[in-house]
Amino acid sequence: MPVVLETDRHALAHRLRPVLLKLSRHLRREVHPLGVTGGQVTLLIQIKKQPGIGVRELAEREAMSAAGMSKALDRLERAGLVTRAPGADRRRIGLAVTGEGERVLRAVRSRRTAWLAERLKELPAEDVEAIDAAVEPLLRLVDGAE
């Protein structure tokens, strides 16, 4: 197995960072025709993963102020994408994704997958195989950061 020097890792990180940022920007743009922003989709995903999550906890996870989060959630609630309901102790308000919010999340996944599939069609088979082989290591890379 070849030895990977620290400078090689730094050089790889330097090359990989702008690629991942550009890919992220393209995928975020795919949600705009659905009437939501990338940030709103991120909040919907977090709420779907943890139904009943509170505003403060969600704000902490997203590195936002509670007031800023409350405003963002007001917009999602007015759009019919999330609901707020008292929790078991009634002092805490929990969040949930509505049926319409679920529909939006399915549409987001569909649009993003279609966009990626179209780009992959343009690549030679060996490039597609290399990307396929990189998926698991990249997943471990980002899962380790959470």
Q: Please list the pLDDT of the chain residue by residue as tens digits (146 residues).
A: 566 666 798 899 999 999 999 999 999 999 999 999 999 999 999 999 999 999 999 999 999 999 999 999 999 999 999 999 876 666 778 999 999 999 999 999 999 999 999 999 999 999 999 999 999 999 998 887 66
Determine phi and psi for 62, rounding to 5 degrees.
-95, 5
Determine phi and psi for 79, rounding to 5 degrees.
-80, -5
Q: Give the pairing of strands 93-97 and 82-86.
A: antiparallel
CB contact set of 28 (below 8 Å; sequence gap of 6+): 38, 41
Cβ(80)–Cβ(98) under 8 Å?
A: yes
Residue 87's pLDDT is what? Answer: 67
DSSP character at residue 85:
E
Residue 93's pLDDT is what? Answer: 82
The highest-level CATH class for domain 34-143 is mainly alpha
Residue 64's pLDDT is what? Answer: 93
pTM over 0.95: no
Residue 59's pLDDT is what? Answer: 94
Residue 90's pLDDT is what? Answer: 67
Residue 41's pLDDT is what? Answer: 95
Domain ranges of the chain: 34-143
